[in-house]
Amino acid sequence: MSKLLQLHDFGAPGGMSFDALRNSAASAGCSTKGGAGKSSCGSAAGPSDLPPDVWEKVKNHPCYSEQAHHHFARMHVAVAPACNIQCNYCNRKYDCANESRPGVVSEKLTPEQAARKVVAVASTIPQMTVLGIAGPGDALANPAKTFKTFELVTQTAPDIKLCLSTNGLMLPDYVEQIAAMNVDHVTITINMIDPEVGAKIYPWIFYDHRRITGVEASKILSERQLLGLEMLTARGILVKVNSVMIPGINDKHLIEVNKAVKSRGAFLHNIMPLISEAEHGTAFGLSGQRGPTAQELKALQDACEGEMNMMRHCRQCRADAVGLLGEDRSAEFTTEKVMAMDVEYDLAARQAYQAKVEAERDAIAAAKQREMQSLADETASIKIQVAIATRGGGVINEHFGHAHEFQIYEVSTAGAKFVGHRRVDLYCEGGYASDAGIEPILKALNDCTAVLVAKIGLCPKDSLAGAGIEAVETYAFEYIEQSVIAYFKDYLARVGKSEIRHVARGDADIRQGAFLAV
Ligand code: CLF
Ligand code: SF4
């Protein structure tokens, strides 16, 4: 049985079908508060889809705009170690699992160290446009450190967007301060709106000077989260809601969460897979609670996708992440290295660089548009997925053997859409490739018809072909979406001429939590 069918088989609350849930989620509409949650808004939106003031806020934020994540980087500073709740997927020895991949302990920083690090990164990586505070605990359980850091950064680097992530418990108390500091982007992790569901995720919260457990804890948490969301959107602050998908606990319930946050004006919903391994020492890891498969996650994201777009390009990054989403340059900016660096904040150079990126991005959008027009007469109902090897910039510029991840696009006559990524171990390490190395990659890309790469060797190309996946170098160093559409056109032509037969691909056999094939 396919994993997609298994998700349908889980059933839905109140006996509703998955499609019925999808329809009810889509028709809930957007709140008028804050002007967010409008049709076409969200991570895939472009300048023509959004009011100019909203576009200005998202156009170079790599998490709020899927387009932007190919070009712009973010950095986190780990200034917020404490937390005021306990999530069953978190072990306090590690980073906050809401916004970071557990397993790597961050270097904790003072606000002063953090501000210096921001300037150091900004002078080295001109495409770094966003500073996020996302743990390793909760940003608003450490308000003094969080706001002091923002204050210092605003003084020296006024063009950098400020972003924070919170579990929401203390959010209503700090909305005014957030607005006063011009923080335009806030993420709230909302895993439930039903405290009975919440009691299975949160053993306790610490609120109003006492530890509260059970359903009462989740009731307070949920009320505070939704109140905070409403207060932020009423002030025009863009809110992304993160939800951790926990199969058997809140997977079906997240459709209700999606409706609830959409109706309160959330801009974007990011449903992330539970990362749960026994070695992380979390309650879920130790109890054997599994994370979702790639197909289960995509089916839920598809079901929620209505008037509010879903974020599908999250990399669940760590609390001290630096770089483009999917790359990790944090080791270049340890406190020791930052203190030794000669840093200077050159605003003009940063703006010049970013102007170039904008021009390139316009060229990419125009090329995609041209390619789409050439699909206008196609009526085939075929839909395929295509994997891309890229190092960023919106271009197919990575060798197959050097790819740490593949970006996955779904393409049909309706166009090409980013639907996720698959992290893989390098096929080629230190110039050597092993036969065993291809197997996990084949599993990870098993639902793809083709992989578009800058270059690939004969051996892996043959292995991919044996698994029914076409490796294509034709579009090396071309724009991604334009190439995906061009490949699809060619694919349809070959199917039409009976040169190849279209077959529905199977599921990608990957463990979604770590995005690695097993
Ligand atoms: Fe950081 Fe989060 Fe801001 Fe982005 S991350 S605080 S909104 S700047 Fe982005 Fe990382 Fe996913 Fe977070 S990819 S974990 S969604
Ligand atoms: Fe851990 Fe973050 Fe949950 Fe706090 S909010 S318990 S730091 S995952």
- Whether the per-residue pLDDT at 86 is higher than 80: the answer is yes
Q: Give 391: exposed, middle or buried? Use CB within 10 Å, 0-12, 13-18, 19+.
A: middle
Least confident range from 51-60, 243-252, 408-417, 442-451: namely 51-60
Cα torsion at 127, 133, 135, 140 (round to 10°)?
-170
Whole-angstrom distance, CA of residue 360 vs CA of residue 385: 25
CA of 343 to the centre of ligand 1 (A): 25
**11 pLDDT band (50/70/90 cuts)?**
very low
- C-alpha dihedral sign at 18, 22, 28, 33: positive
Mutate to test the pocket of ligand 1, among 140, 165, 245, 329 (most ligand atoms within 8 A of CB): 165
Dihedral-angle region of residue 305 (phi above 0 means left; psi in -120 to 50 means alpha; beta otherwise): beta
List the Cα angle 85/89/93 in 5-degree steps. Answer: 75
Task: Give the helix/strand (H/E) hosting 221.
Answer: helix 214-234
Ligand closest in space to the Cα of 205: 2
Q: Answer with the residue of higher pLDDT: 258 or 52.
A: 258
Q: Which of 21, 37, 13 is nearest to 299 (CA)?
A: 21
Q: DSSP assignment of 426-477, as one string?
A: -SEETTEE-HHHHHHHHHHTTT-SEEE-SB--HHHHHHHHHTT-EEE-TTTT
Least confident range from 89-98, 248-257, 368-377, 390-399: namely 89-98
Mutate to test the pocket of ligand 1, among 43, 70, 99, 297 (most ligand atoms within 8 A of CB): 99
Ligand closest in space to the Cα of 101: 1
Contacts of residue 293, defined as CB under 8 A and 6 or more positions apart, other chains included, come to 3, 507, 510, 511, 512
Average pLDDT score over the chain: 84
Whole-angstrom distance, CA of residue 99 vs CA of residue 480: 27
Q: Which of 320, 329, 325, 319 is nearest to 166 (CA)?
A: 319
Which residue's alpha carbon is at the smallest distance from atom 2 of ligand 2? Answer: 96
- Whether the per-residue pLDDT at 29 is higher than 70: the answer is no
Q: pLDDT tens-digit profile of 277-332?
A: 787 789 999 999 999 888 888 889 989 987 678 898 888 888 888 888 877 788 88
Ligand closest in space to the Cα of 328: 1
Q: Answer with the residue of higher pLDDT: 422 or 216.
A: 216
The SS3 assignment for 414 reads: coil
Q: pLDDT tens-digit profile of 340-367?
A: 888 888 888 888 988 898 898 889 989 8
- Who lines ligand 2 at CB under 6 A? 83, 85-87, 90, 96-98, 135, 137-138, 167
Cβ–Cβ under 8 Å, residues 488 and 410: no
The SS3 assignment for 209 reads: coil
- Whether the per-residue pLDDT at 514 is higher than 50: the answer is no
The number of the ligand 1 atom at minimal distance from the alpha carbon of 98 is: 14
Whole-angstrom distance, CA of residue 372 vs CA of residue 366: 10
Mutate to test the pocket of ligand 2, among 88, 94, 100, 138 (most ligand atoms within 8 A of CB): 138
Q: pLDDT tens-digit profile of 401-455?
A: 999 899 999 999 999 999 888 888 887 776 676 667 888 899 889 899 999 999 9
The whole-number average pLDDT for the span 233-261 is 96
What pLDDT does residue 374 have?
86
- Whether the per-residue pLDDT at 245 is higher than 50: the answer is yes
Residue 68: how many CA atoms within 13 Å on its side-chain side? 27
Instruction: Using a cut of 0.75, tell me whether the model's pTM lies above it.
Output: yes
- Who lines ligand 1 at CB under 6 A? 63, 74, 76, 99, 130, 132, 134, 163, 165, 185, 187, 240, 270, 314-317, 325
What pLDDT does residue 431 have?
67
Dihedral-angle region of residue 292 (phi above 0 means left; psi in -120 to 50 means alpha; beta otherwise): beta
Cβ–Cβ under 8 Å, residues 281 and 299: no
Contacts of residue 516, defined as CB under 8 A and 6 or more positions apart, other chains included, come to 423, 424, 425, 440, 444, 510
Dihedral-angle region of residue 296 (phi above 0 means left; psi in -120 to 50 means alpha; beta otherwise): alpha
**97 pLDDT band (50/70/90 cuts)?**
low
The number of the ligand 2 atom at minimal distance from the alpha carbon of 167 is: 5
The whole-number average pLDDT for the span 29-49 is 45
φ and ψ of 304, to 5 deg: -85, -15
Whole-angstrom distance, CA of residue 53 vs CA of residue 359: 19
